[in-house]
Homo-oligomer: A and B are copies of this chain.
Amino acid sequence: MTARVLLPWPDLAVPPELTTAVWDGRGTPPDALEQVEFYVLPYDSGTRPFDLFGKLPSLRAVQSLSAGYDQLLPLLPDGVRLANGRGLHDLSVAEHALTLVLSAQRLFPRWFAQQQKRTWDRAHTRSLADTRVLLVGYGSIGRAIERYLLAGEAEVVPVASTARPGVHGVAELPELLPTVDIVLLVLPDTPQTIGLIGAAELAALPDGALVVNVGRGTAVDTAALTAEVAAGRLRAALDVTDPEPLPADHPLWTLDGAIITPHIAGGSDSFYPRAKRLTERQLRRFAAGEELENLVR
């Protein structure tokens, strides 16, 4: 029997009416794919999985496990639906954002340095509790971060591109920035977000404020942020930078008030179970002839 669905993993719950083939994006794809109607793309395998489109004459729908699909759209055959992986990385990014915030507030760079010197030297630290956190970017990642922050009794001030009830618009940043302890940026890389936090915005923050970025490095003026951190006036905890990778000779690396991780917020174990659960839901919908979730075309 020829496969009707092509999947990246063998260990999925598949409705009995579907026949399956498996390809993880490595090695040679399987044969007998003429009947494949639904193709779940292997994750993190570059553009090679797209080459298979030409061998799938029965293809009706593609499931991507990434959120972005700009590269994929022009290659997708006419009439084929596309569902994306929106939300699968949210919790991974939210966890990393919280680790950056907590590490900065609770002085973890100090404790790691002391551990290397084997010294037991106590100090009082900042908290996350009771801080006022400006959450710039209030999509599904922002809301996952908010759940953590509220559990920790921080005050969350959400900001989106335009104001709506309970959410401020970016136009209000000048009034909001002087009132917060932490700015947490979760912005996509769009023409509207480039340079959103420049020298003037950073200057508007109170002394000692923490700037956290898990979105795109281009949202922040790196030179201006470096100057504020070097002066000891602001602190920074960044998973993304501009330029990226951060060059080895960049002064940010060695500043006391800076924590830098190499754009790894999205890459953790929490992705796989979520990707598998979404795939299994989509297979049930496909088998039942229902509309897929997360359709983008």
Q: Are B268 and A127 in contact (CB under 8 A)?
A: yes
- Provide a sorted-by-A list of 18 A–B residue pairs whose CB atoms are within 8 angstroms: A95-B106, A106-B268, A112-B259, A115-B253, A115-B258, A115-B260, A118-B246, A118-B253, A118-B254, A120-B263, A122-B263, A124-B267, A125-B269, A127-B270, A128-B270, A129-B269, A148-B148, A148-B152
Q: Taking the complex as formed, is A102 at the interface, i.e. its CB lies under 8 A from any CB of chain B?
A: yes
**A91 contacts the other chain (Cβ, under 8 Å)?**
yes
Which of A148, A248, A250 is the most central at the interface, judged by chain B CB atoms within 10 Å of its CB?
A148
Partner of A96, one of B106, B130, B244: B106
Binding site for B on A (CB under 8 A): 91-92, 94-96, 98-99, 102-103, 105-106, 108-109, 111-116, 118-130, 147-148, 150-153, 244-246, 248-250, 253-254, 258-264, 267-270, 273
Tell whether A127 pairs with B248 under 8 Å between CB atoms, given A153-B91, A253-B115, A264-B122. no
- Bound state CA distance, A145 and B246, in angstroms? 35
A127:B91 contact, CB within 8 angstroms: yes
Decide yes or no: A106 and B99 within 8 Å by CB, A246-B120, A248-B119 being known contacts: yes
On whether the beta carbons of A130 and B268 are closer than 8 Å, the reply is no
- Tell me how far the C-beta of A101 lies from the nearest C-beta in chain B, rounded to whole angstroms: 9
CA distance A268 to B131 in the complex (A): 12
**Residue contact A102 to B98, C-beta cutoff 8 Å:** yes
A250 to B119, CA, bound (A): 11
Provided the pairs A102-B98, A147-B151 are in contact, do residues A111 and B260 lie with their beta carbons within 8 angstroms?
yes
A261 to B268 Cα, complex, angstroms: 25
The answer to whether B118 and A261 touch across the interface, beta carbons within 8 angstroms, is no
Out of B109, B118, B148, B273, which one reaches A112, CB within 8 Å? B109
Residue of B nearest to A239 (CB): B111
With contacts A106-B99, A127-B91, A264-B125 taken as known, whether A259 is within 8 angstroms of B120 at the C-beta atoms is: no
List the B side residues contacting A95 at CB < 8 Å. Answer: 102, 105-106, 127-129, 152
Determine how close the nearest CB of chain B comes to the CB of A206; give it in whole angstroms.
15
Q: Which of B102, B151, B245 lies in contact with A99, CB distance below 8 A? A: B102
Q: Are A130 and B260 in contact (CB under 8 A)?
A: no
CA distance in complex: A269, B119 (Å): 23
Top 5 A-B residue pairs of the complex, sorted by shortest distance between their CB atoms: A120-B245, A127-B270, A129-B270, A151-B151, A99-B102
A66 to B147, CA, bound (A): 30
Q: Report Cα–Cα, A109/B114, bound state, in Å.
A: 12
Say whether B268 contacts A125, CB under 8 Å. Answer: yes
Given contact pairs A91-B152, A130-B270, a sample of 16 additional A-B residue pairs in the complex whose CB atoms are under 8 Å apart:
A91-B127, A95-B102, A95-B106, A96-B106, A99-B103, A99-B108, A108-B108, A109-B112, A115-B260, A116-B254, A118-B249, A120-B246, A125-B264, A125-B268, A126-B269, A130-B273
Asked if A115 meets B268 with Cβ closer than 8 Å, knowing A98-B102, A99-B108, the reply is: no
